[in-house]
Amino acid sequence: MSAAVEYGALLEDVKPEVAHADEQYRYLLDKLSAFLLRDNLNEAEEKIVELLTVLIQDYEKLRFEKVDKTPAIEIVRYLMEHQNLKNKDLVPCIFETESVASETLKGTRGLTLKHVKRLSNYFKLSTDVFIDEEVELMASAS
């Protein structure tokens, strides 16, 4: 089977569409995850992965960059909830310890610039998503 024919068959099977709601976004994430868990993707599968990635990034950009007044920590909680993550899943990749994660996510401790950079890398989102007035005040005070 040629790569073009296989790509067409994959498109028909996956049915990638621009996401306008969280359900569609989760569908795209699930489909992308299924491909990323496999080894040795062929050319057609790599193209589908690229397409799904663009569709997911576009939705995230619209969904999370429109949120002007939402505190950064609420965005982190939202991302964690929708990716079924627990506090301990973000240690040590973002937070230094579980207690730092817990205090930060409860709002008793603020995000640091280091946390913002790590969150940005982890969730593949712009650092702007995780910067709010509290982070800016902490940065200017140090």
Do the Cβ atoms of 135 and 116 come closer than 8 Å? yes
Residue 101: what pLDDT?
A: 96
Q: Would you kindly state where each structural domain of the chain is located, as residue ranges?
A: 3-65, 72-141
The CATH architecture of the domain made up of 72-141 is Orthogonal Bundle (1.10)
pTM beyond 0.85, yes or no: no
What are the pLDDT digits (tens) for 123-135? Answer: 999 888 888 766 5
CB atoms within 10 A of CB 28: 23
